[in-house]
Structures are given as structure tokens and as C-alpha cells.
Structure 1
Amino acid sequence: MNHNSLFTVLIVEDEPELAALHRDFIEQNFQLRVVGIAGTIEQARTLLNLHQPHLVLLDNYLPDGQGVELIASPWLKSLDCSVIFITAASDMQTCSQAMRNGAFDYIIKPVSFHRLRSSLERFMHLVKTLRHVKVVDQSALDRLYNLPTINTPSSPSTKGIEPTTLGKVQRIFTDGADISWSVEQVVEKVGISKTTCRRYLEYCVEMGFISIEMQYGNIGHPRRLYRKKAAV
């Protein structure tokens, strides 16, 4: 596939493993190319100037400031890129500030990959339509800019998921159904890398086998724990 024909994405996230997980998910499931990962606002500004991406996945809590302030800057607006704003803050003030300053979408951590998929599908639909439609009537324009969340059921991607390893991961949660497991604990038991482990855990979340629990410590850096979903 010609990379020049793909829409480009910049990920701004200071947790390297989470950023890598988002990158893999985006590139495996969409006609999108991740052109860079920034861990600070300063790095984000440099990479935004360099690549001028179509889309930014922007975390709010960064070491040198808050992403919501970057959204508000006239400089970012001049680059003509969309922003999917991701944050652990669930307060309405942050949410409304992000939306008021033009965020395309707003996702609360921990990020559901079903929710991220829906947001990216909406973005792809919007930009493709804008590229090909020259004249629209009012009803078409209203539909375009008031897109509902796409609820088309979709199975989680099995790319990079090996059945034997998946079975080992799932067995941990079946045997320890009352335990909330950290990534590190699963890594130790299965003997795989953290990045690989996160991929399998997110796959299990998407398929509804386990759920995510958040353990809050320092602001902006909650710890993800995983637990077997109770049978309904």
C-alpha cells in the first residue's frame, strides 16, 4: 500500500507502552499511518510542525503541561488537523473546554478499544467525505457534522493473537477469577513482553472476557488492573 495515500496520525502519550499499543491498533485496523509518538507537549509541537498530520491522539496529562491547552492554541488550529482528546479526567470542565476548542472527540481513560475504533471510523468517514464531496445541501451537511457513534458490531482483530498464548493468558483469569491482575503479574506468569501482554489483554477486554479496573495513584497516571468478568 502506498503510504503517501494514507491519512497520518501523531500520538501524544507519555506512557510508551500505551502509545505503542495505540499505534499497533491504529495501523492494524485502519488506513492510517502513525508518523510519530510524542511524550511531551514540546515534542508534540516539534512533530506537528514536521509532519502536519491529519489527526492527533492527544493525552491531557503530560510532563510539561496539559494537552487541553494545546488544543486551544491558534497555532494548532492553523495546522488543520483533528484531535481525539484522551484523558483520565472525567470532570465536565475539562471535557467542555476540549470540545469548545474544537476537539473532534473526547475519550476517558482507560481507553476502550471499541470506543477508539468507533471514533476513528467517524474520523475516516468525515475526512473521506470532505475529500470527495464538493457541494452539499443542508441536510447532508448536518449529517456529516453530527455523526452518531457508529455502533456497527465488529469483532476484535485477531492479527498478532496466537491461540496458545491467548489460552495461557485466559487461564490465568479463569484460575484466579477473584483477583485483579496487573500487566506485570501476567507477564511474569506467561513469560511474554509487556507490549505483547498488553495486546492480549486488550483483545480479551474487547471480546468481553475480562474488564478493566483503575487503581488511582498520581494524577494522570492511573494503574490498569484486569479482572475476569463475572458470568451473567
Structure 2
Amino acid sequence: MTNARALEVVIVEDEPHLAELHREYIEQNFHLRVAGIAGTLEQANALIRRYRPRLVLLDNTLPDGKGVDLIDSPLLKSTGCAVIFITAASDMQTCSHAMRSGAFDYLIKPVFFQRLHASLARFMLLEQTLRQATVVDQHALDRLFSLPASDAPSGPSTKGIEPTTLARITGFFTANPDAAWSVEQVVAYAGISKTTGRRYLEYCVETGLVSVEMLYGNIGHPRRLYRKIPG
């Protein structure tokens, strides 16, 4: 697998910081290459037509339409690529539409990296099975569609997590346990970039140090705020 060409992925997400987080996580943890990031359906169609990727991470709410409609498009169907559908819409109608249309997986925002990891691991297993198997038995199918727990990560990945920086961030929350903090406030204190800060904050969420709160305003996307979990 390491000598083979990395499979190409297109990310369709109109929140640039989330798209970058997904790109960084995908390329660091899997033999995958993000061919492009699209913020609209129009851009998504152009990237899919150009690269014909094996996988699309697809957000639902986009400036020019719904991502779920892209799953039904002749262009996407013709590529034969898998779709991991990522959305804040938790209503059953959207979920069932995506699944009936052939979505490989369905993730609800905010997406935890451990859940994304499990989805990507199952996708890689599918690709390996399709590439190597001439006959698929029941055991192979069961393993493919249920992904045993032993194949899933046992805990949050520490890749890219540096102890000194982590201690600085955890110390910040420990010293300020009663307030909810934006990523901008945390990275200003820690002296790190936003991209790096988001990676550490998501790690803190997965390890149970902080929780995520969504602050909804009148305009634009909701802001993610982080608060120390008591204890």
C-alpha cells in the first residue's frame, strides 16, 4: 500500500478552517491525497470532473445548494466514488435521503476525529478488498460493513500533539474553568496558529477535557466555543 499511489479525495466544505482540519487529518493518518477543496456545489462539480476522486467528503449546507443533491447527480454517479456525508442536519429525512442515494457513511457535525477515523478506515478496507479479492465470502463482507472494534482506534490519535503545547492549552482551561472560549482566544494565549490550535482543541474534546458549545448568531456560521468539563 505504501508504494501505491495515494487515492484522491475531494473535500466539499464551505467553512475553510474545518476543511483544512479534515485535509490535515486525512493526509496525516491515511494513504490519501486531498486533490482539492470546494466551498460550493459549482466548485465541487469542477473538482470531481477534473480529478474523478475515489472519495468525497461532502457537507450538506452550501451557499449554492444542498450537498445531498450532488449525491444524485449523474457526474458523481459516473465516477463510482464513495461519499462520506457530513452535515449539521440531524433530521431523519436528510439522513435517509443520503443513505438511499448511496452515501458510504453519514456524520453529524461537530465531527469527532475518532468517528471520522473509523469511517475512513472502513473506506480504506473497502478499497483494499475491491483491489485484492476476486471472490468475496460472508466473513469478508461482515468485516467490511461492521469494521470490528479491534480495527478502530482505541483512543484519540496523539500524532501531531506536542506535550508542552498541550500542557499550555490544558493549563489555560484549568485556570479558567467557568468561561467558554473561542479558538481565537485560546491560540492567542498559547501562541500558536489557528490550524494547530483547532487540532489541539479537538484532541481536548476527544479526551474529555473540554466540551464544545455552538454559538448561533444572526449572520454567518455558528461559532464553536470550548469550555472546561468539570472534574
SS in 1 for 2:84: strand
SS in 2 for 1:5: coil
Q: Is the 8 A contact 1:88 1:220 kept in 2?
A: no
Alpha-carbon distance between aligned partners in 2 of 1:71 and 1:214, rounded to the nearest angstrom: 28
Equivalent residue letter for 2:106: Y
Q: Which residue of 2 aligns with 1:118?
A: 118
Alpha-carbon distance between aligned partners in 2 of 1:40 and 1:96, rounded to the nearest angstrom: 23
Q: Which residue of 2 aligns with 1:24?
A: 24
Structure 1, unpaired ranges of 5+: none
What CA deviation, in whole Å up to 9, does each residue of 1:64-105 have, x standing for no partner? 111001011122111110000000111111111111100000
- Tell me: CA distance 1:103–1:178, structure 2 relative to 1, closer, same or farther (3 Å): same
Equivalent residue letter for 1:132: Q
Structure 2, unpaired ranges of 5+: none
Equivalent residue letter for 1:176: N
- Tell me: CA distance 1:212–1:158, structure 2 relative to 1, closer, same or farther (3 Å): same
Q: Which residue of 2 aligns with 1:161?
A: 161
What CA deviation, in whole Å up to 9, does each residue of 1:143-182 have, x standing for no partner? 1563257463434333332222211111111111122211
Q: Is the 8 A contact 1:119 1:149 kept in 2?
A: no
The answer as to 2:142 corresponding to 1:143 is yes
Question: Alpha carbon RMSD of aligned pairs, Å?
Answer: 2.1
Alpha-carbon distance between aligned partners in 1 of 2:190 and 2:144, rounded to the nearest angstrom: 46
Q: Percent identity of the aligned residues? A: 64
Q: How many residues get paired?
A: 230
SS in 2 for 1:196: helix
Equivalent residue letter for 2:47: L
- Tell me: CA distance 1:96–1:220, structure 2 relative to 1, closer, same or farther (3 Å): farther
Superposed structure 1 runs of 4+ greater than 6 Å apart: none
- Tell me: CA distance 1:20–1:222, structure 2 relative to 1, closer, same or farther (3 Å): same
